[in-house]
Structure 1
C-alpha cells in the first residue's frame, strides 16, 4: 500500500508462535441467525463515503448463555456505482488487538484505491477493540508495562486475565473469524476477497478453514502458519535477523554484516553479565529502566520486524560499533526510542489498539510450553525446561532466554494467565485448507514473519503462490511491488 501510518507500527508488535492442541476452540462453526445489517453514513478518518453498521453476536456460539457482544464494521462503497460490484475486499491489519476501522481504514482505502472503483472495501473491528465492544485491563494501563522487566510484564498480563474473568476465553481467532462471517451474512455477500497483514494472515487462514465456501481469494502478507513444528518467534526469526543484517550491509555497502553481528554478540554478552541501569523520558516523566540483553534483543528485533527502514538499521550498526569502543550512549538512545514508540502505540487506547485483546487472543490461541491446569511452580519448571533444551548457537547473537522473552514476543508472557480449558489453536493441526486462490508475500528484510514462515503459511494451501519481495520488511503490502502483486491477484478473473 502507498502508506502504512499506524499499521506498520502496530502490526510489528505481533506475537508469533507455532501450533496449539485441538480443543473446544477448534470446533466447527455454529450457524446463528443473522439479521440484515443496517448501514448509515458515519465518520471514519479520511473516508468520506464510509457506511457503518454493527451486528450482535454470541460471546460463545457453543454456549449462548454466556451473553453477546457487538461487532462494528464499515463498508466503503465502490466509486463506480454505475456498474455492478466485482466483489468485496475484507482486510485485517494485524495485531492481535488492532482495530481496522479508525486505526488503519484509510490506509487500506488509499492503498487499494486502483481496484476500488468496482469493488467494495469491508473493514471489521475484531471483537474487543475499536467499534466492537473494546475491552481493557487496568493492569496494563500506563507506560510502566512497556518499560518493565520480563517478570513485571508477565505479572501484569496475568493480572489482566484475572480482571477479564470468565470473558478472557472469548477472544480467540476462531470466534473472530465467525464474527466476520456473520458480518458477511448480514450484508448479504456471497464470497469475499480476504487480505490479511501479519496476525491478519492467521485470522484469514482461520476464516478459510471455517468458511471456505465464502472465499473468492486470500492474500497473506507478512504471513506465518497457524501450525508449525518450530516456534516462529524464536529460531526462525533469529535466523531471518542474521540474514537481513547481511542483506542490508551488502546492499548499502555501508557496513559489514559479520562485523555488525560480531558487535551485537559482544554487547549482548556484556549486558548479560552486567546490565546497565539508565533512565528514559516519556510524557514529561522520568522512568528508570535497565538496559540488559533482553531489552537489547527487543530493540534489535523490532528494528528488523517492522518496515524496511534502512536508515534506522544503519543507525543501529553505528551505535553497535560505538559500543565496541566503550560508548554505550548511542545504543541507549536507540533503545529509548524503541520503548517510547511502543508506549505511544498502547497509549492510543482500546478504540484503536487493545492491549487486553492482544493478550486475550495470544494466551488463548498460541501454544504454551506448560499446561494451564498446572500451578505456578509447575508452569515455571516446564517453561524453563523447554528453554534449556534449546541450542544456544541457534539463537546467536543472543541467548535463547533473551531472544524468547523480548518485548511482546515473550513466549512466557502467559505464564501467569488464568486457567483456560478452552485454549488452543483455532483449527486442528493437520487440517487441509480449501483449494482457494491464495497469494502469500514475505519481505526478505523481515525478521518478524520471515520468508521461512511465509513458505510454511503458503504450504497450508494446496496451490498457493509464494513471493519473496526484495527490500521489503514487515509486511510487503507497504511496498509498490507488494501492492501491485496484491491488486493484480485480487483483480484476476476467477
Structure 2
C-alpha cells in the first residue's frame, strides 16, 4: 500500500528557481500550449481567487471505456494560460499532487502555480481533478464519511474499507489509475494539445508513469518527486531501513540525540505496548495505544515534509518510556491522530477517501487473491506475512510496519472481488525515451531513495537526484523544487 495522505499537497509550495537543469535527451522545440480560441471557449473560475487567470471546463467521459452503456463521469479541469502572449508558448505542465484521493484544482492549484511561477510566462498549467475527487464527480461512501476511520483499530479500518467497496457496488472497478490516465488524455485532446510536461508528486509519480505507458506520443517530459515504481512495493523492509537512516540523520544533523539510542528505546517502547496496550481518549474517541498505533505514528513522521521537531519528540517519548513515563508517547499519538482527522474532515470535494481506496484496492500489489473468499484471503495474507523477518524491520515488528494505517498491506482484505483489479501495466513494459527527472529525499521513509531509483529504472534514460534534508516529497525543499523548475525550463 503506497502513500495516501495528502502530505504531498504542501510539498509543492516551496518550489523555486536556482539550480542548473539535469541532463536529458534532446527534444526539438514545439508549441504545446492551448490556442487562444480554446482558452476563450472555457469559462471563468470565480471560485478560485488564487488563480485569477484560470479558465475552467468539464467534460463527460465513460465510467468504463469498455462498457459505454454504464454511463459517464464528469472530469473537471482548470487551465492557467501562460502570461506572455507576445511569444509562442513552450509547453503545458500537467501536475498531480498525489494521494490518491486529493483534489488537484482546489487544494493544490494555487500551490502549483505559485511554485511554477518562474515558468508561467511561457508555460500553461493544466490542473485536472482525478475522477472521483473534487470537480470530477466526487465519490463517497457512507462507511468512510468523515474522520471516524482515523480513530479505529486496524481490524475495524479493514472492515470499513471493505464495507465502502460493497457500497460502491458496480462502480468499484471504475477508478483505476489507467482510467485516470485516459481521462487526462481526453482532456488533452479536447484542448488540442500535442504533448505534455508531466509533474507527479507521490501517487502522482505512479499516475504519470501509467499515462506515459499508455500515451507515450503525448509526453514531452516527466518530473517525479517522492517517486515509486508501478510494480515495486514500498511498504516492506526498504521503508523500515529508510526510517532508521532518517532517524540517525536527524540526530546527527541536530546534535540533539543519538540515533542508535533512539532506535533501541523505540524498540523497547513497542515491545512494551505489544505486551501491555492501553486505552487513550483522543477527540472523544477511545483509541488503542498499542504497538500498531505507535508504529503508525512513528512512520508518519518520515512520510511527509521534513519535521525535525516531530522526530525529536519521538526520540524524547521513547527515552521517557525507558524510564517508565508514557506521557510523551500519549501526547505524540494524540497530536498525530488529531492532525489526520482534520485532513479526513475535508470531504470528497477536497479529499475522497472512497476514491483513494477504490484506486488502492484496484491497482496495488497484494498477498491474496480477490477470487478467494475473505477467510481464504486472510490465510493467504497471514502465510505471506509469516515469512517476514522482524530483524529487517527493526525497531518495529514486521507485522506492525507493513500494516500501519494508510499503508496497510491488508487494508483491502474485505474489498469486493473484481476481475479487472490489476497493476496499470506489466513489469518490463516499454515507457517513452523522454527527459525524466526523479527526486528523492534522504529523510523519506514513505517513498525512499531506493523507491526513486526503481521509478527511474522504468524509463530508458532518467536523471536521479537525492535531496539532502528532504522528506516526502523533496519538492518541499528549495533545492529540490528548483531542480524541477529548471529541469522543465532547460528542455
SS in 1 for 2:482: helix
Structure 1 residues 7 and 258: alpha-carbon distance in aligned structure 2, compared to 1, 3 A threshold: closer
- Alignment partner for residue 157 of structure 2, among 153, 163, 179? 153
Displacement of 1:329 in angstroms is 0.9
- Alignment partner for residue 337 of structure 2, among 330, 336, 339? 339
Q: Are the counterparts in 1 of residues 9 and 97 from structure 2 also a CA contact under 8 Å?
A: no
* TM-score (norm: length of structure 2): 0.92
Q: 2: CA distance between counterparts of 1:302 and 1:120?
A: 34
Q: How does 1:54-93 map onto structure 2 within 5 Å?
A: 54-93=58-97
Displacement of 1:295 in angstroms is 0.6
Q: How does 1:77-116 map onto structure 2 within 5 Å?
A: 77-116=81-120
Displacement of 1:433 in angstroms is 1.1
- Structure 1, residues 135-170: CA drift from partner, whole Å, max 9, x if none? 001001233211111110000000000000010110
Q: 2: CA distance between counterparts of 1:106 and 1:10?
A: 11
Q: How does 1:253-268 map onto structure 2 within 5 Å?
A: 253-268=255-270
SS in 2 for 1:402: helix
Q: 2: CA distance between counterparts of 1:417 and 1:6?
A: 23
- Alignment partner for residue 44 of structure 1, among 44, 48, 52? 48
Displacement of 1:60 in angstroms is 1.1
Residue 482 of structure 1 corresponds to which residue in structure 2? 480
4+ long deviations beyond 6 Å? 9-12
Displacement of 1:8 in angstroms is 3.5
Q: 2: CA distance between counterparts of 1:51 and 1:298?
A: 41
Residue 296 of structure 1 corresponds to which residue in structure 2? 294
- Alignment partner for residue 272 of structure 1, among 268, 271, 274? 274
Residue 17 of structure 2 corresponds to which residue in structure 1? none
Q: Are the counterparts in 2 of residues 93 and 104 from structure 1 also a CA contact under 8 Å?
A: yes
Q: 1: CA distance between counterparts of 2:53 and 2:150?
A: 37
Displacement of 1:322 in angstroms is 1.1
Structure 1 residues 9 and 332: alpha-carbon distance in aligned structure 2, compared to 1, 3 A threshold: farther
Q: 2: CA distance between counterparts of 1:242 and 1:256?
A: 12
Task: Tell me whether 1:437 sits opposite 2:431 in the alignment.
Answer: no
Residue 130 of structure 1 corresponds to which residue in structure 2? 134
- Structure 1, residues 387-430: CA drift from partner, whole Å, max 9, x if none? 00111111111111111111110100000000111000111122
SS in 1 for 2:173: helix
Q: Are the counterparts in 2 of residues 11 and 198 from structure 1 also a CA contact under 8 Å?
A: no
Structure 1 residues 11 and 427: alpha-carbon distance in aligned structure 2, compared to 1, 3 A threshold: farther
Displacement of 1:66 in angstroms is 1.7
Displacement of 1:115 in angstroms is 0.8
Q: Are the counterparts in 2 of residues 45 and 102 from structure 1 also a CA contact under 8 Å?
A: no
Displacement of 1:247 in angstroms is 0.6
- Which sits farther off after the overlay, 60-69 or 404-413? 60-69
Residue 22 of structure 1 corresponds to which residue in structure 2? none
Displacement of 1:63 in angstroms is 1.5
Structure 1 residues 233 and 6: alpha-carbon distance in aligned structure 2, compared to 1, 3 A threshold: closer
Q: Are the counterparts in 2 of residues 6 and 104 from structure 1 also a CA contact under 8 Å?
A: no
Displacement of 1:61 in angstroms is 1.0
Q: 2: CA distance between counterparts of 1:129 and 1:415?
A: 24
Q: Are the counterparts in 1 of residues 7 and 305 from structure 2 also a CA contact under 8 Å?
A: no
- Which sits farther off after the overlay, 147-156 or 37-46? 37-46
Structure 1 residues 199 and 45: alpha-carbon distance in aligned structure 2, compared to 1, 3 A threshold: farther
Q: How does 1:348-363 map onto structure 2 within 5 Å?
A: 348-363=346-361
* TM-score (norm: length of structure 1): 0.91
SS in 1 for 2:324: coil
SS in 2 for 1:421: coil
- Structure 1, residues 195-224: CA drift from partner, whole Å, max 9, x if none? 000000000000110011111100010000
- Alignment partner for residue 229 of structure 2, among 216, 219, 225? 225
Residue 287 of structure 1 corresponds to which residue in structure 2? 285
SS in 2 for 1:367: coil
Structure 1 residues 416 and 433: alpha-carbon distance in aligned structure 2, compared to 1, 3 A threshold: same
Task: Tell me whether 1:390 sits opposite 2:398 in the alignment.
Answer: no
Alignment coverage as a number of residue pairs: 460
Q: 1: CA distance between counterparts of 2:9 and 2:297?
A: 13
Q: Are the counterparts in 2 of residues 7 and 104 from structure 1 also a CA contact under 8 Å?
A: no
SS in 1 for 2:461: coil
Structure 1 unaligned runs (5+)? Answer: 13-35
Q: Are the counterparts in 2 of residues 441 and 469 from structure 1 also a CA contact under 8 Å?
A: yes
Q: 1: CA distance between counterparts of 2:330 and 2:236?
A: 24
Q: 2: CA distance between counterparts of 1:251 and 1:10?
A: 24
Displacement of 1:10 in angstroms is 8.1
Q: 2: CA distance between counterparts of 1:370 and 1:117?
A: 50
Displacement of 1:376 in angstroms is 1.3
SS in 2 for 1:213: helix
Displacement of 1:432 in angstroms is 2.0
Structure 2 unaligned runs (5+)? Answer: 13-37
